């Protein structure tokens, strides 16, 4: 048996390491939108996360982050909702996210069975909504009922969510979900919002910040009702959780941190895993440890806020 001292150092830190569960990813082209599916290859039943990408970002650019989460015992479905060459209005994106959610309900399990030899089952009563940047706003919009879905969602994760280039309503993406009022979101589920400290700063080749004040993670958290939590990776930028081999255009659009990007991916992945372990499995040790000591994370965190 591990000594008490050894045990205390592992609680809250293992989530920031790659998990012990082997996994694979595969493509699906028969859903409403092309998908990347990340799934464990170890027999078991796993919760499903529907992850929405940011504006004009390929879903494959999140492979390391989503792989980290999968390795701790989750199935992640990442649709390619649109691309830079084929943008679509926010309302269409939200509708397609809802259609993918409905596809998950009926078609995900057969696809997993086709691609994984082991008996891996999708736990469809614990669907998690998640997204980054504009995709984070899309996840919120779906949770708020702006898409017709047959599923009930268990929790919501916003990674540096953004509602548009400014507070001006004319420039914000549809649907307009931000109200400017505290705890105005009518969400009957736990929420975690994870922001970046450099998101509100302009990048090297783009005059507008990727996560401007007034429409970024701070406003989203401000409008959440308990239970909700807020973390901020202080020294990292809006795109720093993407894989290292993303296009140079994306790298220069936003203000980037100077530390290794692997640290922010492991931090974001660990926060997601700890949050979901707490609310899906009632395993609170990691989440509480991180709230009490943010220095456990691999990237520097500002003081977290949690309203139970």
Domain boundaries, the chain: 21-307
What is the pLDDT at residue 2? 32
Catalytic residue chosen out of the listed positions 132, 146, 155, 160: 160
Catalytic residue chosen out of the listed positions 68, 132, 230, 238: 238
Catalytic residue chosen out of the listed positions 31, 63, 71, 133: 133
How many other C-beta atoms lie within 10 A of the C-beta of residue 11? 15
What is the pLDDT at residue 249? 65
140-182 residue pLDDT tens: 999 999 999 988 999 999 999 999 888 888 788 889 999 999 9
Give me Rg for the CA atoms of the chain. Answer: 18
Distance between CA atoms of residues 167 and 33, nearest Å = 30
What is the pLDDT at residue 205? 74
Q: What secondary structure letter does DSSP report for 15? A: G
Give strand pairing partners of 37.
Answer: 26, 77
What is the pLDDT at residue 85? 57
Domain 21-307 superfamily per CATH: Alpha/Beta hydrolase fold, catalytic domain (3.40.50.1820)
The yes-or-no answer on residue 230 being catalytic is: no
The yes-or-no answer on residue 238 being catalytic is: yes
Over pLDDT 70: what percentage of the chain? 93
* Cβ 42 vs Cβ 120: under 8 Å: yes
What is the pLDDT at residue 5? 33
Q: To the nearest 10°, the Cα dihedral for 268, 270, 273, 276?
A: -70
The yes-or-no answer on residue 160 being catalytic is: yes
């Amino acid at each position: 048996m591990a000594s008490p001292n050894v045990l205390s150092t592992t609680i809250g830190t293992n989530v920031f390491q790659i998990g012990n569960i082997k996994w694979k990813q595969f493509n699906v082209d028969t859903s409403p939108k092309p998908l990347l599916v990340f799934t464990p290859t170890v027999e078991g039943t796993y919760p499903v996360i529907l992850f929405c990408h940011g504006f004009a970002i390929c879903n494959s650019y999140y492979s390391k982050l989503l792989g980290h989460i999968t390795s701790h015992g989750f199935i992640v479905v990442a649709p390619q909702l649109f691309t830079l060459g084929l943008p679509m209005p926010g309302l269409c994106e939200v509708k397609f996210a809802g259609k993918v959610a409905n596809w998950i309900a009926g078609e995900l399990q057969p696809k997993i069975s086709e691609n994984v030899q082991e008996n891996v089952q999708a736990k469809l009563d614990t669907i998690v909504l998640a997204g980054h940047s504009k995709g984070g706003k899309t996840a919120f919009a779906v949770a708020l009922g702006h898409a017709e879905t047959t599923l009930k969602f268990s929790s919501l994760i916003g990674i540096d969510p953004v509602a548009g280039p400014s507070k001006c309503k004319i420039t914000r993406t549809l649907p307009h979900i931000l109200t400017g009022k505290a705890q105005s979101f009518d969400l009957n589920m736990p929420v975690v919002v994870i922001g970046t400290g450099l998101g509100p700063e302009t990048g090297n080749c783009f005059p507008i910040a990727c996560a401007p004040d007034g429409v970024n993670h701070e406003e989203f958290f401000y409008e959440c009702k308990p239970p909700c939590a807020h973390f901020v990776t202080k020294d990292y930028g809006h795109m720093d959780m993407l894989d290292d081999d993303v296009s140079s255009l994306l790298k220069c659009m936003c203000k980037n941190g100077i530390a290794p990007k692997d640290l922010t991916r492991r931090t974001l992945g660990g926060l997601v895993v700890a949050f979901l372990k707490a609310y899906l499995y009632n395993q609170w040790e990691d989440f509480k440890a991180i709230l009490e000591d943010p220095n456990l994370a691999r990237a520097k965190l500002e003081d977290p806020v949690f309203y139970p």
